[in-house]
Chains A and B, each alone.
Chain A
């Protein structure tokens, strides 16, 4: 029988809600600048909780190293890509107004995408780092 039933059950119960909350924070920009950052932290911390309870080995099956690395790099790429897109469309770097015909809409879109990039990066970074601390990220 499992000995840490309490932790396990409560974690299972909360986990989907935590992850959804992270995505909610991600997509509701009214949290102000850094919505993506906070979302990333929440998602990452949720995953850390999972790792604490179920062990790194299980967690690694959920998020394999290669996938993590891809998400990490991809996040940065989204962030920089949006900036470069603005640049290619004739504005300066990080000028989102040019992303759409309507400058306001362009700004919104740009910020959403940037935040998405930040969020993914932060989440992936937190998870990778925790794996490192948890101590099974070393080459044998």
Chain B
């Protein structure tokens, strides 16, 4: 059963990778990589069950966090070419 779930996750990961490579826009790629990350979280959780290591769930949680922050950071970088400006307020003229 877990194997089936793992297979499903792997398939969707693979498909996400295809989209990541195919693009065509950078946003498509970010979307795909973000999706890949979420699937990785699931994969880790399943692996935890498979190998009877519940502490993997902590790792999954950490990964989810990193995935989120990473997506925001990359997106911001591509949008403003800068990470340091606040994401809101006056100094963002282009929004």
Contact = CB atoms under 8 A, between A and B. Distances in A.
- Please determine if A and B sit in direct contact within the complex, based on CB atoms under 8 angstroms apart: yes
Interface of A: 2-4, 7-8, 18, 21, 25, 30-32, 38, 41-42, 45-46, 48-49, 51-58, 130-131, 133-136
A52 B82 contact: no
A3 B86 CA distance: 12
Contacts of A53: 72, 86-88
Contact of B86 (A18, A54, A133): A54
Interface string B69-95: 100110010000011111111011001
Contact of B82 (A18, A30, A130, A135): A135
A121 B61 CA distance: 22
Given A31-B58, A42-B65, A8 B83 contact: no
Interface of B: 55, 58-59, 61-62, 65-66, 68-69, 72-73, 76, 82-89, 91-92, 95
B86 A41 contact: no
Given A30-B55, A32-B55, A135-B83, A55 B69 contact: no
B34 to A, nearest CB: 15
A4 B87 contact: yes
A7 B82 CA distance: 17
A134 B83 contact: yes
Given A25-B58, A30-B55, A31-B55, A46 B86 contact: no
A118 to B, nearest CB: 15
Contact of B87 (A8, A32, A41, A130): A8
Nearest to B84: A134
